[in-house]
Structure 1
Amino acid sequence: MSVHGISVVFTTEDVARSVKFYVEQLGFTCTLQLEGFARVQLGAADIMLALPNAHQPWRGPSFTGSIYLDVDNVDALWERLKTRVRIAYPIETMEYGLREFGVLDDNGYPLNFAQPVAAP
């Protein structure tokens, strides 16, 4: 078995607002937008945005993990985004070999941008 990619679905009460955030703030491209659903992509990152499922209780956005997006120039991206989006944590070099920072999207979902660095 081989995996060729991964897609994430974020539930949002306002798909159009979320598309606007991903396109205008983070540079994604909207590849599909329907009523209640959209898909945005940037390189290998594939994120779907959908209205809450009518068959499940909706208590607002929630997510207990972290989404990491591997980038090739994390410092330049940090400089571009640090005053434009909500910051979860500032850029730093982690002891596990990544230089990274975290932001929150328009719904509060965590997105971490990371780049491997040489071991000290």
Structure 2
Amino acid sequence: MSGSDVPRLTHVRANVRDLPSAITWYEDLLGVQAQGHWPPDAPTYAHFTLGPTQFALGRYDPAPAVGARFNFEVDDVDAWWERTSPDTDVLEPLQNTPYGTRKFTIKDPDGNELGFVQAKPG
């Protein structure tokens, strides 16, 4: 397969039950404002531009089964750990891994898993 035949992931979406609450939760966590609210008069969708990829939220009622996992590569995972609130649902606390990264994993209010990962220097 040539390089031009390899697909590039540019957009992922987490399904949520309460879109306005999810937008606020993710804006607080990511420090980025949601964009692309659609449809404008009664949004069921919004996205965040994170580098070359869009991370989107879609409202579904009732929400389909959850259990999605999203990993975000960050430059300073300790700073991201400090951004979590005391009531954050932590699956894996901040830790060094045996495979050369430093990471933590939390859940959003709808049960989707969010991993924050930093490659260890050296």
Partner of residue 88 from structure 1, selected from 88, 91, 95: 91
TM-score (normalised: structure 2): 0.78
Structure 2 residues not aligned, in runs of 5+: none
Q: Would the alpha carbon gap of residues 93 and 44 (structure 1) be closer, same or farther in structure 2, given more than 3 Å must change?
A: farther
Q: CA RMSD in A?
A: 2.3
Task: Encode CA deviations 1:74-101: one digit per residue, 9 max, x unaligned.
Answer: 0111122152522111011111111000
- The answer to whether structure 1 residue 70 and structure 2 residue 78 are counterparts is no
For 1:61 and 1:29, how far apart are their aligned partners in 2? 26
Which residue identity lines up with residue 26 of structure 1 in the other structure? L
Cross-structure match for 1:30: 34
What is the letter of the counterpart of residue 33 of structure 1? H
- Matched residues, number: 114
Q: Is the 8 Å Cα contact of residues 33 and 39 (structure 1) preserved in structure 2?
A: yes
**1:60–1:4 Cα change, 3 Å:** closer
Report % sequence identity: 24
Q: Would the aligned equivalents of 2:15 and 2:63 in 1 still touch at CA under 8 Å?
A: no
What's the TM-score once normalised by structure 1's chain length? 0.79
Asked if 1:14 is matched to 2:30, the reply is: no
